[in-house]
Each structure stands twice: as C-alpha cells, then as structure tokens.
Structure 1
C-alpha cells in the first residue's frame, strides 16, 4: 500500500517513537523511509565579524543535531532491513519544509510524532503536526506519546 514514508524528526523521544513505528510499517509494506531534519535558518543580522563566526557555529551545531536525529531513524530502519535515505533542509517554516520534501521525494505517507500540547500552549506555540495535518496532500499518521 505505501511505497515511500517520510519521517520528519526533531531528535526527540517522540520522534524516535515515530521512527520505530514508520520502520515497522515500512517493513510490512515493503516501503522505504526518508528521514528529514529541518534546520531553522540562522538569524543573521549582518553586523560585525562575529556574525560570520556565529553562523558557522550555529550551522555546525544544527548539522550535528541533524546527523544524530537522522542516524537514529537510520538505525531503526537498518534493524528492520528497511531501505533508508536522509534529507536535511533549511527552511523558515518547518511544516512547509516537511510538505515540500514529501512532494519532492514522492512520499505517499508522512509519519511523525506529536508533542501533545493542549490548551493555551497549543495556541501560543502552534503545532507543526497540526499544520502538516491541515495542509498535507498525502495521508499523515501521528504517533502520540
């Protein structure tokens, strides 16, 4: 039924749970998994020499976080014998990056974790999962804590 599953990750325990679920699902369906990490752009203000050093340090840390997160998804897939590909992108809007990648990679399912925020926290902080659910053109499976 599914051929390519997108698994966006922020490196959290919830994202790990979604990666395990997606890898299990991919194994059952003979699908592959695309792991995705979206980096927020550096808030560059262009003042002084420190900004270039700050950008380099920021991107180094962001890439290290992406590598850890995608490595976790890859390990879940390898343990189940599931084909895996990794993608790291830089976007101002995480949910838009997820949707763009799903379309560009030809994914037919998005599996992601949800932090389960409710009430005022959900209204103020927003929810990437909620936005993906709202705007996705493919099915979205949310793995709850």
Structure 2
C-alpha cells in the first residue's frame, strides 16, 4: 500500500469541504501524514465590470473574502493540531481554484489531494464547471474525491 506522507486539503465555504477535512483527519492520523489545508481567493468575480466605478466594492469583497478564508483555515487547522497532526495552511490569490490547488500541491510536495465535490452533473456542470473535475484531470498525483 502507498503511504501518503503529505496530504493537501483544499477547502471553501461549503459543507462538502468539511467532509473532506474529516477524511483527511482520519487518513493523516492513521498514516502519520503531514497535512496542508488551503483556500483560493477566486479570480476576479467582477469580470467585465468597469473597474473604476466599483474599485471600492472589489477591494471590500477581496478583503472580506480573505478574512473569512483565514478564519476558516485557522478553525480547521485546530482540528489537526488537537490530534497532533503536523499541519500548515496556505492561502492563494489571483488564480482559478483548480490552478491554485495544483500549484500548492506542487509547492508543498503533496502526494495526495483530498477534496470535496458537489457532484453537479449535466447542464449545471457545463455552466458552472467543476473544480474537482479540473483537478482530477490536471493533477499528477492521486486525488481522493469526497461526496456527501
């Protein structure tokens, strides 16, 4: 059996992220793995909006998103600390979620990614895309997808 020494767990605000965290906790504990939890502050959601008219709104959005992500990462980090699991946190900006996940996996030399998937299908998947699907197809390392 492959022993995973460094697990990457990308999270967002969804409940499915917390299910992935629970899987990562269990696996890291049983394999004595190091864990990195991460979030991506999404690429500009205001694409096509006149920047000069909405600059304060954009700044407020990104500041609030970063604050919320840092709080969520710290809260989740404590779950790993309580179980004596070596854990680090990463926050990345300016890239798509899937690009950020792949980038951080490479940066920390992760050998497994555990992430949640909303399980969208059909037209919803076509319209919204799928971060999990993108990571699955782009990642050079194994990806464990957790669904609830």
TM-score of the pair, normalised by structure 2: 0.88
**Aligned twin of 2:29:** 27
Residue among 123, 126, 133 paired with 1:123: 126
**Aligned twin of 1:67:** 70
Q: Please, what is the CA RMSD of the aligned residues?
A: 1.6
Question: Is the Cα–Cα contact under 8 Å of residues 37 and 69 in structure 1 kept in the other structure?
Answer: no
Question: Is the Cα–Cα contact under 8 Å of residues 9 and 37 in structure 2 kept in the other structure?
Answer: yes
Higher deviation after alignment, 79-88 or 66-75: 66-75
How far, CA to CA, are the matches of 1:13 and 1:94 in structure 2?
Answer: 17
Q: Does 1:93 align with 2:96?
A: yes
List alignment gaps of at least 5 residues for structure 2: none
Question: Is the Cα–Cα contact under 8 Å of residues 43 and 96 in structure 2 kept in the other structure?
Answer: no
List alignment gaps of at least 5 residues for structure 1: none
How far, CA to CA, are the matches of 2:85 and 2:57 in structure 1?
Answer: 38
**Aligned twin of 1:47:** 52
Q: How many residues align?
A: 143
**Aligned twin of 1:136:** 139
Report the alpha carbon displacement of residue 65 of structure 1 after superposing the two structures with TM. Answer: 2.1
How far, CA to CA, are the matches of 2:73 and 2:31 in structure 1?
Answer: 21
Cα deviation per residue 1:51-88 (whole Å; 9 max; x = unaligned)? Answer: 1x223311221112212331342133123221110000
Aligned to 1:47, the other structure's residue is in SS state helix
How far, CA to CA, are the matches of 1:54 and 1:36 in structure 2?
Answer: 25
TM-score of the pair, normalised by structure 1: 0.90
How far, CA to CA, are the matches of 1:26 and 1:126 in structure 2?
Answer: 29
Question: Is the Cα–Cα contact under 8 Å of residues 33 and 84 in structure 1 kept in the other structure?
Answer: yes
Distance 1:45-1:104 versus aligned 2 partners, 3 A rule: farther
